[in-house]
Every structure is written in C-alpha cells, then in structure tokens.
Amino acid sequence: MKKKLSIGYGIGLMLISFLQVFAADSGDEKMAVYFPYNYREQHNQNNWVYRDHTAQGEDHKLQLLGFGLKYFPNGKLFFDLSKKSLIAIPIIGENTHIPYALTQNAMIGGLDSYTITANFIRNLSNLFKAYAGLGISLNNIEFNPSGRDTGGVPLDVQIFTGLIRIGMEYKITQRCAFTFSLGYEQSKNIEYTYVTTSVFKYTYKSPFFIEPAIMLYF
C-alpha cells in the first residue's frame, strides 16, 4: 500500500515537472513550499445492526498537518501537490455487543491525504491575492471499529475524492506568505464487510474545510 502511495506521489511530482517545462514563460515563474493545517467537522450519522451487535456513528472533527509544493508557471495560475496526516485520533461512533452489554468506541487510527489541484489567481493588491481551484485527493484511512486497545481488526480503506476551494494569500515578506483556504470535498459512503460477517459503515462527509498555511517562496 505504501508503495502505491509513493508511486502516486511520484506521478504528481512528474506532472508538476511536465507543466514546468511546457508552461509559457512570463517571467513570473516560481515555486513555493507550504505547511498547512486542515480542519473539518464530519457528519457520520450511520446506525446499523449485525449479528449480536449494534453500531452507530457520531459527528466528529478531523485535524491534519502536512506539507506541500506549489508551482507558479505565471502570475495567473498555480499547481499544488500536498500530503497531510491526522494529528488527533477522533472517536467516530460506538459498537455495542448486546449479550455482554459491552460498548466500545470506534475510531480513525490514521489518515493520510494526498492532494493535487490546479488554481487560478487574481492579484488584489501588492499584498493580497485571491485564488480558486479544483483537484483530487487520495485518502488512505485506517478505521478501528472496536477501538485500538481491544485487538480488533483495523480496516484500511482508500478513497478518491474531488474537491473545490477558494482562498486568500497575504504577503508577509518577499519570500513568506500566509494563506487561508475554504473548500468542499466530495462525500463518500463507505460500507465494509470484515471477518466474513461483521459490517462497518462510515460517511466521509463534511460541509466544508478550512486550511490556513505558512508558505515560503524560493
């Protein structure tokens, strides 16, 4: 699985290199690295029954930190490749064993998100820029339906999602800027059967996400 993600990330870097070669040279060509914090509230309202268990989903928060690379072929367009990882393990629901009246928390044990976007820029002033873009994400999620300390089976799921976003950039210095993005990522309904008869459901759904970041030009 890690090999597949490495290949996908390598393809993204190759794509940016390709665009760098073939983009029109306007004298504004540059690159930047940035370090984003991504926050969203997930609405996971699933309730289901399997064998002698009942389960229900709960609303929760996802918080991710990461790094990214932006390539600006000119002053009107940039391409963005990033990786973000979960920094706090959220409780996403409950799993109850009816005969023993035993309730355990379901969690997301890990989330790595790989995103590539294309964005249009509009200069508002010497210090402010606005941008809007769209892209695609590969999300590698580890679910723990029965918690992390009970020896339950972790579920590794990969999903592709589309996203759109708008944002602002504020130039702090010539080589340092602060950015703030507001976006929407496509929702996905996940249903997974494991250990033959056990069922797990999850709704990957958020009305929007926010993503502040510090960016360094080079």
Burial 85-96 (b: 16+ CB within 10 A, else e): ebeeebebbebe
Beta carbons of 141 and 156 less than 8 angstroms apart? yes
Give 79-93 pLDDT, tens digit per residue. Answer: 999 999 999 999 998
CA distances from 32 to 1, 5, 148, 164 (A): 29, 23, 38, 21
pLDDT mean over 118-137: 96
In the block, residue with structure tokens 């709960």: 58
Range of the domain at 158: 2-217
Beta carbons of 201 and 57 less than 8 angstroms apart? yes
Residue, of 113 and 3, whose pLDDT is higher: 113
Cα(81)–Cα(137) distance, integer angstroms: 10
Cα(78)–Cα(159) distance, integer angstroms: 25
pLDDT mean over 50-76: 91
CATH number for the domain harbouring residue 45 = 2.40.160.20
Q: pLDDT confidence of 13, banded at 50, 70, 90?
A: low
Q: pLDDT confidence of 22, banded at 50, 70, 90?
A: very low
Q: Quick one: pLDDT at residue 53? A: 77
Backbone angles phi, psi at 36, to 5 degrees: -95, 155
Q: Quick one: pLDDT at residue 66? A: 98
CA angle 183, 187, 190 (to 5 degrees): 150
Beta carbons of 103 and 96 less than 8 angstroms apart? yes
The number of folded domains in the chain is 1
Cα(206)–Cα(44) distance, integer angstroms: 9
Cα(74)–Cα(29) distance, integer angstroms: 5
Q: Quick one: pLDDT at residue 146? A: 77
Q: Quick one: pLDDT at residue 23? A: 45
* pLDDT value at 74 more than 70: yes
Q: Quick one: pLDDT at residue 25? A: 47
* pLDDT value at 126 more than 70: yes
Q: Quick one: pLDDT at residue 27? A: 53
